[in-house]
Amino acid sequence: MMDETLPLIKTDSNTIFNSFFATANSFQTPLRAEKNMGTFMFIVNVFNGTLGIGLIMLLDIFVECKLILSSLTFFFVFINIVLSTLYIFDSMARTSGAALALEMGGFPKNEVGQIMFDFPRMLSFYLYGKGRILSFFVSLSYLLFALWCSLSFCYNSLDKIIKSFGFKESFNCSIVSLIIGAPTSTEVCLGYYGLTIGFLILFVVLSVVNPKLFKRLQLVFFLYRILALVLMYTTLIIFFIGSNNSNIANTSSASDDEDWWWPLCRYGSMLSVSFFSLINCNTVIESTTQSYTKHPLRYTLIVDLICFLIYFILSLMNLFFTYKTGIMKDIWMAYTGLGSGWEQETATQKSTVWAMVIRVLIMLLPLITTISIYPSMVAFAAQSIYRFFNIQTFIIYHMWLDILIRAGVSIIPILLCVVYNDAKKILSIVGMSATVIGGMIPSLIQFVSVKHVQKVFGVGMHVTKYFIKYLSSAFIAKVLFVLGAIDICFEMIHFVTCFFVSD
């Protein structure tokens, strides 16, 4: 097997890549300072993302889904994690070797670097000018992924959060609603958007100005999410044990009288987010696996396996509640006081005060998760796009420019939430776009780039120490392309049926 530091391209330094690698080698982030962080912080960072976006989304993914379908979904997603993990290290090794061959410095051995996969850099190597254009669209796809995820929180959580504080009217703060004269709550809208923007600014500034404090704050929110999840499941168990299940069944979303298209919509809704929800493991691993330079693949696969087990166990828990009670609609109804154990009582009762504290912790979970994870997740992709236009975004030396980039990208979901307020339609359209642009097109590009390297430099030039015959980049690209095609089918089902399903 070829070592990843051996030259892959037998040529002298080429000025075509000088500008590109000058930017790439100067690409520093606060996380790079954590190169020598210990095992504890490695695990914390990994599961900070794992217990963030993907975990909360699963509470919606597995609504109304049976055991077999849920297990099948996890199987496909687990395979996707393993393949993408191997792909990361395979492409990283080839890219690092090519950088060294061009005498541009490259990366230290087995260091992944602070970018989302290695698509843009590889494309610039293998396809030159055309690759630079394609890398722009690939970077854009990551923004679509992050935007899709953030939108799902904004739209699926706002109404639940607001109602939990006693506001019985539907949450609607979109400009469209204001134009048509729909009833809105000014205090609620200003409060939510003010809180969200405030947190976004706080996280964006801290992540650049004071990385150490930002890391500690992330650890606090990581522990908070653990606590909130435990409280959520505990209160659910207590609620369903002490409630009259017959009353729940009368309002349950799990009805026997269903239209023919409703099961299709369930499946489409489930798979429309599945391929993105579990990518959190790898995006965080990319930033933290550099702490281990001896056996990065082993550590990554172990963490992937743990992520898979966590998702699977929690999905089974959620599936059990869903199967027994038709849980989702009734859970949030219960939190509003419309169920046994949650009736409104006077604030002088000590038990009610504690119940209110627990309710606040649970209800702020989606909001805290969104604003703490989203900005940092898209910053890398945003900088790749800015580099396409030859805008230098060296984080360490151009702090305020980086703040503007992060704030500019992070504000997108807020603006869309203000302009349009239909979750299902937006998630369907953006979901299909993200799957095509972010999943299928990059996989196809990867397959073409590998074949291009084989044609120009020889069949064996793409082989690295991570190369496995049936897990090579080209084979992985084919598999991911097929999975993307399957996902598109379910996306289409979701897109069509969402127009016939009322909230």
Closest by CA position to 461, among listed 121, 126, 13, 21: 126
Amino acid at residue number 445? I
Classify residue 6: in a domain, yes or no: no
For the chain, the 3-state helix, strand and coil shares in percent, each to the nearest 5, are: 75, 0, 25
In the predicted structure, residue 222 carries a pLDDT above the cut 60: yes
Closest by CA position to 289, among listed 60, 16, 39, 492: 39
In the predicted structure, residue 82 carries a pLDDT above the cut 50: no
Q: How far is CA 492 from CA 58, 61, 391, 418, 485, in A?
A: 20, 16, 37, 26, 11
| Count of Cβ atoms closer than 10 Å to residue 415 Cβ | 10
- What is the spatial distance between Cα 391 and Cα 26, in angstroms, rounded to a whole number? 13
- Give the rounded percent of residues in the chain with a pLDDT score beyond 70: 1
Classify residue 2: in a domain, yes or no: no
pLDDT given at position 295: 60
- Give the rounded percent of residues in the chain with a pLDDT score beyond 90: 0
What digits encode the pLDDT tens for the residues 85-100?
444 444 444 544 544 5
In the predicted structure, residue 390 carries a pLDDT above the cut 70: no
Average pLDDT over residues 489-500: 58
In the predicted structure, residue 312 carries a pLDDT above the cut 60: no
Classify residue 351: in a domain, yes or no: yes
- Does residue 109 sit in helix, strand or coil? coil
pLDDT given at position 456: 54
Question: What pTM does this model have?
Answer: 0.38
pLDDT given at position 393: 38
| Range of 17-21, 105-109, 370-374 with top mean pLDDT | 370-374
Which domain range does residue 405 map to? 15-500
Classify residue 79: in a domain, yes or no: yes
User: Phi first, then psi: what are they for 356, rounded to 5°?
Assistant: -70, -40
- What is the spatial distance between Cα 503 and Cα 220, in angstroms, rounded to a whole number? 35
pLDDT given at position 301: 62
Classify residue 496: in a domain, yes or no: yes
What digits encode the pLDDT tens for the residues 445-491?
556 655 655 565 555 544 544 444 544 555 655 665 666 566 566 55
- State the residue for tokens 């930017």: 23
Average pLDDT over residues 60-76: 44
Better pLDDT: 83 or 202 = 202
Classify residue 239: in a domain, yes or no: yes
What digits encode the pLDDT tens for the residues 12-47?
333 323 322 332 333 233 333 333 334 444 444 444
In the predicted structure, residue 213 carries a pLDDT above the cut 70: yes
The DSSP secondary structure of 370-436, one letter per residue, reads HHHHHHHHHHHHHHHHHHHTT----TTT-HHHHHHHHHHHHHHHHHHHHH---HHHHHHHHHHHHHI
Classify residue 9: in a domain, yes or no: no
What digits encode the pLDDT tens for the residues 128-176?
555 555 555 544 544 444 444 444 444 444 444 444 445 444 555 554 5
In the predicted structure, residue 71 carries a pLDDT above the cut 70: no
pLDDT given at position 272: 40
- Biggest distance spanned by C-alpha atoms of the chain: 78
- Split into its structural domains, the chain has a count of 1
- Listed range (109-118, 319-328, 487-496) with the worst mean pLDDT: 109-118
* Helix and strand totals (H; E) in the chain: 19, 0
In the predicted structure, residue 246 carries a pLDDT above the cut 50: no
Average pLDDT over residues 252-274: 46
Q: What is the CATH number of the domain that holds 303?
A: 1.20.1740
Better pLDDT: 267 or 224 = 224
Classify residue 433: in a domain, yes or no: yes
pLDDT given at position 247: 40
| Count of Cβ atoms closer than 10 Å to residue 103 Cβ | 12
Average pLDDT of every residue of the chain: 48
pLDDT given at position 220: 72
Better pLDDT: 146 or 197 = 197
